[in-house]
Structure formats: C-alpha cells, structure tokens
Structure 1
Amino acid sequence: MAPPKTVRTISQEAFDEMVKENIDDLGMEPAEALEDAIQTLSLQGVDLSGIIKCVPGESSVDENPVIQTLTGLKRLSSGGELLTSDEIVELLERLSELCGSKGSGNAAIAAKNGGLELVISTLPKLPRNGSHRSLDLALNTLVSLLYDLQSTEIFKENGGPKMVMNILNDESLDTSILNSGFSVVAAAASGNEVLKESFMDLKVDELIIKTLRKHNGRSLPCIYDAIRVLLTSDDNRVVASQVFGYARRFAKVGIVDLLVSTLHEGLSSPCVVSASIALRSVAVNDEICRSVADNDGIDAILSCIDDSGEQGNKTVAKACCSLLSKLAGSDVNKGVIIEKRGVPRLIKLAARFSEDPSVVQEVMSLISVLCLRSPDNASHAVEAGAGDLAMQAMQRYPESDQLQRNACLMIRNLVVRNAENRTILLGHGIEKLIRKAKASHKVCKDAATDALRDLGLDNYNS
C-alpha cells in the first residue's frame, strides 16, 4: 500500500487560541477574529472539518449540541450494564439526526471528538430483543460518521467489522436492523481495501446470500450497495485490489441467481437499479457473464430496458444498458442479445429518450460492444438503424463530448471489419460529423481518428 496522503490539521484548543490572539493581540472584533482565523488556516491548507467555529468567551465548545449529546451518551455508556432506558434512545436519536444533517459538519465534529469510538463501544450494550430502536439509531449514526479514510480506519481499529457482523448474524433481527447494518458495511468498506478484506474474512458474502434467501430483497435495498462497494476497487493506496477474487467468491456461493431474480421482478421492484449495479460488479469474467444468461438474465434485463422506455425511467435504462455492456464482453452473450432482438430494442429505447444524451450515449456504447470483432453483428446493427442513430445524435448534441466520443467508437466497430457498412455510412455523410467531433472535442481525437481510418479514408490524421 502507498502511504496515505498527509493532511494538515489543527486541534480545537489551538484554533480557539488563535481566535483569542486575534482579539487580545491584534485588537480585532470577535466576529472579525473568528473569520480571520478561518480564512488564514484555510489558505494554509489546514483541514478545519470537525472544528467548532466559535468565539472563546462568547460561546463554549461544550454548548455545541453534538458535544452535549456525546457527553450524555458517554455518561450512560460508562457502566457495563445493558442500555435500555428511554434516555439512550433520545440521545442516539438526537446524535443520528445531528450527524445525518447534510452540510452541517456535525459528523466531522462528532468524529473529531471521539464520537465514532463511543458509538462503537455502545453497540454491544444495546438490546437486540424486543425494540430495536436504539440499535437501529446507533447503526445509522455510524453510517454518517464513516465518511473518510481516517474514520474507516478508526472503525477498523476499534473492532467495528466483527461487531457489525455479529449483529447482522443475529437471525432474530428485523429487516430495518439488517438494512442499517449493511449500510454500515458499505460505508466502512468504501475506499478501504483492508476493510473489504476484513468483511470478506468474516464471510460477509455467505451472510449476504443467506440474508437475501431469507428476506425479500425489496426490504433490503442497502444489501445491494454493500455488494457493489465490496466488489469495487476504489482504494488508491492499493496497487492490486483483491475485488476480482471476491467477485468470484460471491458468484460461487450463488449471488447471480439471486440478483437475476430481482431483475425478473422488473420495474415493480424498487431495487432493480441497485441489483443491476451489483450484478455488474459481480460479472468479472466470461464464466460469470455466461451464468447470467443461463439464469435467463438477458431476458430480464431486456425486459427492464423495454419497460424503462415505456415508463420514461432513464435511471433504469442507463443502469441496465451499462450492465448489458459488461455482460456482452462474453461472445456467447453477444449472440444471445442479438437473437433476442436486442439491437432493435436498444434503437427504440434511444428514440424514446432522444431528448437525453446520457441515455443515447449509453445505448451507443452497448451497441459498440456488441459489434466488437463481429462483422455479422455490425451488419445487423446498421440494418436496425445504428448508423442513423449515430448521425442523428451527433447532429443533435454537438457539444456533448462523451456522446460524440461514444458515437465515434460505435462507428469504428460498425465498419472496421465490414466494408459494406463503410459504404453505407460514408454515403450518408458520416465523415463530416466525425471530423467536426475531432476538431471540437479533445476527448474525441483518438476515437475519431480510428473511426476515420477504419472507414478507409487516407487523410484520417488531418
């Protein structure tokens, strides 16, 4: 692992002293002294998250609602007995609300003042029988507190993974607790390869499978987020992530059929997008991709694509197209998608969302994958209208650099091994549009050059 990037920080005491010196030594007014300290430290690159920005003497750090709540929670948690009072629920409810307030900075204040360690130490003392309110609140508060690498490291060092897994393994828990617990798994493992490994060592994959089989996935949307995070290489300290092996482990214990089952529910399931993203994370090799088709997953995805067009749901449309692009990395799956009239259905989807370039470019990306190394598929795609789609999109959205690039990539795959398609597209004036994209967008340069070359044009570099 590469060493973590050093961030300059300051203690609450040092910050307060700086404000006090501005008042006492420089004669500034309190408000001016506070603002000067904030600006000076910010310009110096000091991280002020977690600092309570108040004027010493006018207000006290102890008066901050987060600090007051932590103090009360620490008082109740100091003993070894089970915490069952109404007061613990009130305090956790308040802390959860404070830390969950976006943009307030309260989560950073709590973390800087030992809130994360305190909540973790409180977990074993909360009741798991009867009402789960306090446990649910504590887990939700943990999610808010796990917002950066430093906080996830604190979580790891204080035994957080094992503690949360113990809670999740308690079969008596209701779906609300399970959902909150898997939210913690997702938050903790985000950007932290070591924590991904910790959860996998604790067999979180087997637990996820068992939980999905026992409970309806509709009631556990966060379990899909946990799968996605565990299988995403997002820790820039790591040269070689282990997530590829983790995906194979998930596939081996049966995740594919469970995720495909959710997709078969179609848009009636609130988890169809999350399940699509999770399945995309699992599909890391040809064998797993083909197993999706073996479970009738291609049918399910194409049905979701059809329904997303009819219902105008672009989020589902993009998620399913992205998933299908990943699965089409398997040549066997390419054939299945073509046989099921996948390209005409995609062209129809693009037409329905012609006002949204983000959907159109996702469709073109998928068609590009389907045509890769397959002249027959390329012929089929042009017959279905892929060439017309490219031209219309490039004319309609000249300023969308990613759409223009995706169009160039698709055109190249349509013509690189198919001379007939070259003639058709050149006859329709595609060269002018590609050259315009190349001149207008730096990101299109390589893709446009390749498209012009494979169209058989001599001056493709100009």
Structure 2
Amino acid sequence: MQRPGEERRPPGTLARVAVGASVGRHTDHRDSVRMASKRISQETFDAAVRENIEEFEMGPDEAVREATEQFESQGVDLSTIVKTAPRVSADGPEEPEHDVLQALDALREAVACSQPQEVLVPLARFHNQCQEHRPCRFLAAQKGAYPVLLAIWQLAMAGDPALLLQALDTLAVLTDGQPDLLDAQGLQLLVVTLAQGTGAANLTCTALRLVRHVCLKHEQNRQALVKAGVLPLLTGAIVQHGRCADVVREACGALRVMTLDDDIRVPFGHAHTHAKMIVQENRGLKVLIKAAEAFPDSPGILGELCNTLSRLAVRNEFCQEIVDLGGLGILVGLLADDTNHQDLMKQVLSALRAIAGNDDVKDAIVRAGGAESIVATMTRHLANPQVCEQSCAALCVLALRKPENSRVIMEGGGALAALEAMKAHPQEAGVQKQACMLIRNLVARSQAFSQPILDLGAEALISKARAAHRDCEDVAKAALRDLGCRVELCELWTGQKGNLAL
C-alpha cells in the first residue's frame, strides 16, 4: 500500500536495483555456458516479490511473475531460484517460508535427537522437496543441508541400512549439479560405504550415483576419489552385481565420468591416466565385455556398456584388446541384429569408430562385415541424424589410409548412403561434416572412385554443405579438391609483406 506523501515507484524498481548491487557469477556445474550468467540471491528475489505485493498491491502469483520477468529481462539466471509467493495473512504478506527450508529445519531437529527411527520421516520429506525442483536443492545447500545429511550418514553407518540408503539417496539428489559440496569427510565415507556395501545392490547403486554426481565437472573430486581407491570398487560393483541392470548402468556412468576432462577451472585433467588405470589395473575392458554377455536383450544396458568402451579405447593396445576379448563380435552382431533401438545403434557405431583408431582393428572390422553392417544401419535409420552422423564417422575412420577398405565401402553402397544422409539432413552440421570427410577419405588414395561419386551428385551436395555450415568449410574444400572439382584455395598469408611487429 502506498504511504501518504510517498512517491510511487514503477514496478520492478527493487529488482533493477538488486541486480546492480547483487550481481554475481553463476558457478553451476551442470552447464558451463551459464558461467557467464548473472545471478542473485534467494533473499533478493523474495524481497522483490514482497515489494510488488506491498508497494504495488499485486496478488502473490502476479508478484512472482513480475519479479521473474524483471530479473530475466536484465539477463539474470533464475534457474536456481525458488519462485514461491509468500503467504498473505490478515496482517499482510508474510516472509516466504519455502517448503524445502521447513523440511530442512524439521530434519535438523530430528538429527539433534540422535535417534535413527526419528530421522526417516523428515528425511523422506526433505528428499522429496529436493527431488521435485532443482532450485530447492540449491537453496537447501546454501542453508547448510550438506552437514546435516553428513551427520545422518555417519549415524546410519552404525548399522541402520534403511537410513543409510535414504541418506545416500538424498545426498545424491542434493549434489546433482553441486559437486563442490563434497568434502574430505564425505569422500572417505563414500569410499568406505562402497567397499562395505557390495552385498546390497540398491545401496551400491545409490553410492555409484553419488560418485557420478560429485565427479561430474569436478576434477579435484575425481582425482581425490581415484587416489582413495574408488576405481576397483567401480569395476568390482559390475563383477559383484553383473546381472543387476541398475548397478551396471550406474557403474558405467561412474566409470565414464572418471575419463572426462570437463572442469573448466583446471588447465588439464587426468582423464587419460584414469582410463589407463581402469583398463590396465582393474581389467575394465574384460569386465565390461563380460557384462554385455549377460544382457543380450537389454538395449539400454548394452548402450551404456558400448558408450563406456568408447571412453576407454584411448590407446592402440586397448582397441586391440577389445577385439581379442570378443568385443568386436558383439558390436558387429548388434548392428547385424537389425534392431530398431536407435540409441543403441548410435552407441555401437561410436564404439566401432573409437576402436577403429587402430589400423589393424580397421581391417578386422571390415573382415568381420562391419562396413556393410554400418551402411545397412545408416540406410535403415536414415531419418535419425545422430545415427547418420556416427555411421559416416565410423566409415570415415575405416577408410582412412586404407584403399582396400574404401573399395569395400564403395561396393557396399557407403558413398550413396552418405550422400542420401546429406540430402535428408541439410541443416545438421555434424552429418554434413562427417559425410564430407568420408567422401574425401574414399577418394584420397583411390582416384578411380571420384567419377562414380560425382555421378551420384556429390559436388552439389558438398558445395551446399560448405555454404550452409561454417564448420564444413575446410573438409568440404578438401573433399572437392580430392574429387577433382574446381575449388578456390586461398593462401591467407605468405610471409612476404612486411615484418611482424613485436
């Protein structure tokens, strides 16, 4: 309500002032693009909502909408803000008591009693609040939820499996997108829990999910967990629970995250070193391939295993080991099964592309009928751009420096399938780029293939890709050049004019 003698400000005044005073840098680990976004505190947002109600007589829902629009118009990222209207009583609007904070307060009181049976109900309520909305868990973390859950974890380690499972599950939810929450005490507890909980599949599965969440985009946590001995526990979980789909899925995700180099805060990570340790010290490839044999009719699990094999095929000898262990037969067999599971096909193609980095494995794939199977898969799933891109990429690697493989691909209709993919997905830069690279590799050492490919309309399609996608500029020119087409190659600098100024 406007007070006597007071000048009425336009709606959103506090929002504009707050952004100018409280702007920060978003440090969310889920999306690095948001690192450059502005952010505000929950208290600032709540104050702007309250101002809209008190000063401009808006209803609660309208006040929230107005505050949201004002902040977003100024480039503020509100993805971590709880957008809840305050309750309005007879005395006026009250401070918004967010449900997640009420649940956290109740949980604190229960933990203070140190009685496990008193904690389960408020813990389940808090878990549901955090799981329902991502901003709720962000706000809960700001208000000290992690130490409370850590205390419950320690309490449950004394011998309460139900409470331990619920505590780990809640921590996995809380740390999703917030890996910085993990501290040294939590790290040690996590390793101990994984080591002691191998007999219970549900506990192991939840602990593995927590490992994945605290390691995603967090190199320090990855290295600390590896140093603490987590890698043999990850592969051991697959061995111990090789027929439990949930455990295998979570273990694969945890293994893959150990091989990522996705933390922009460090100059370089240990992704390659971790991949070597998984393979050489923990028999990772053998474990994964044996696990694949246990799930012949589970496309989701097979896709997870293929994806993980791709991440571990980082050395020539590892690619060969996958073949020696029977992995190549499994991959080619999955393609030949004529399955309609496109996500699985994409992961199988990615794995073949990865192991084909070894020249001997290239030949083994072609001898096993892999080239024909890849072409058939691309033709069958021509409407799927991801399958087309991965198919072209795999064929591209098979043809690299291998004229005989290029002949097999050509005879199997590989060039035609790639050009059909270009026609089907003109706006997909990945498809266009990989198809151009495939065409170039097919003719680079086999000029006899140039005219047949040109007769299929390759020049026009490659020229269109070059014009439509900046990423295709270099590969398109290389393909046109090797096809014998006229292409203008610009010499950007010859070093002849003037001197470099230091």
TM-score normalized with structure 1 length: 0.89
Residues 11 and 447 (structure 1), Cα distance of their counterparts in 2 relative to 1, 3 Å cut: closer
Alignment equivalent of 1:442, drawn from 464, 470, 494: 470
Alignment gaps of 5+ in structure 2: 1-25, 28-34, 491-502
Contact 1:50–1:112 (CA<8 Å) still a contact in 2?
no
In structure 2, C-alpha distance between the alignment counterparts of 1:76 and 1:217, rounded to whole Å: 38
In structure 2, C-alpha distance between the alignment counterparts of 1:397 and 1:172, rounded to whole Å: 47
In structure 1, C-alpha distance between the alignment counterparts of 2:422 and 2:36, rounded to whole Å: 45
1:303 aligns with 2:333: yes
2:110 is aligned with what amino acid?
L
1:106 aligns with 2:124: no
Q: Partner of 2:193 in structure 1?
A: 167
1:104 to partner: Cα distance:
5.8
Q: Partner of 1:222 in structure 2?
A: 250
2:230 is aligned with what amino acid?
V
Residues 190 and 449 (structure 1), Cα distance of their counterparts in 2 relative to 1, 3 Å cut: same
Secondary structure of 2:487's match? coil
Residues 117 and 173 (structure 1), Cα distance of their counterparts in 2 relative to 1, 3 Å cut: farther
1:260-305 superposed Cα distances (whole Å, 9 cap, x missing partner): 1123345424421111111111111112111111111111111122
Q: Partner of 2:116 in structure 1?
A: 84
Secondary structure of 1:284's match? coil
Alignment equivalent of 2:435, drawn from 404, 407, 411: 407
In structure 2, C-alpha distance between the alignment counterparts of 1:180 and 1:111, rounded to whole Å: 20
1:280 aligns with 2:314: no
Residues 13 and 362 (structure 1), Cα distance of their counterparts in 2 relative to 1, 3 Å cut: closer
In structure 1, C-alpha distance between the alignment counterparts of 2:42 and 2:421, rounded to whole Å: 55
Contact 2:86–2:96 (CA<8 Å) still a contact in 1?
no
2:314 is aligned with what amino acid?
V
1:332 is aligned with what amino acid?
D
In structure 2, C-alpha distance between the alignment counterparts of 1:217 and 1:231, rounded to whole Å: 24
1:408 to partner: Cα distance:
0.8
Alignment equivalent of 1:426, drawn from 443, 450, 454: 454
1:360 aligns with 2:388: yes
Residues 18 and 391 (structure 1), Cα distance of their counterparts in 2 relative to 1, 3 Å cut: closer
Secondary structure of 1:232's match? coil
1:195 is aligned with what amino acid?
N
1:84 to partner: Cα distance:
2.8
Secondary structure of 1:392's match? helix
Residues 15 and 345 (structure 1), Cα distance of their counterparts in 2 relative to 1, 3 Å cut: closer
Greater mean deviation of Cα atoms: 159-168 or 261-270: 261-270
Alignment equivalent of 2:170, drawn from 136, 141, 150: 141
Supply the RMSD in Å over aligned alpha carbons: 2.6
1:126 to partner: Cα distance:
1.4
1:37 to partner: Cα distance:
4.0
In structure 2, C-alpha distance between the alignment counterparts of 1:373 and 1:304, rounded to whole Å: 27
Residues 21 and 60 (structure 1), Cα distance of their counterparts in 2 relative to 1, 3 Å cut: closer
1:223-252 superposed Cα distances (whole Å, 9 cap, x missing partner): 111001111111111221111101101111
Alignment equivalent of 1:154, drawn from 181, 201, 216: 181
Alignment gaps of 5+ in structure 1: none
1:35 to partner: Cα distance:
4.4
Alignment equivalent of 2:153, drawn from 106, 115, 123: 123
1:46 to partner: Cα distance:
4.8
1:435 to partner: Cα distance:
1.8
Alignment equivalent of 2:288, drawn from 249, 252, 259: 259
2:354 is aligned with what amino acid?
K
Q: Partner of 1:204 in structure 2?
A: 230
Contact 1:321–1:362 (CA<8 Å) still a contact in 2?
yes
In structure 1, C-alpha distance between the alignment counterparts of 2:461 and 2:36, rounded to whole Å: 47
Q: Partner of 1:72 in structure 2?
A: 106
1:72 to partner: Cα distance:
1.6
Contact 2:436–2:475 (CA<8 Å) still a contact in 1?
yes
Residues 335-354 of structure 1 aligned to structure 2 (within 5 Å): 335-354=363-382
In structure 2, C-alpha distance between the alignment counterparts of 1:128 and 1:317, rounded to whole Å: 46
1:152 is aligned with what amino acid?
P
1:172 to partner: Cα distance:
6.0
Contact 2:46–2:96 (CA<8 Å) still a contact in 1?
no
Q: Partner of 2:321 in structure 1?
A: 291
Higher relative contact order (CA 8 A, sep 6+): 1
1:394 to partner: Cα distance:
2.5
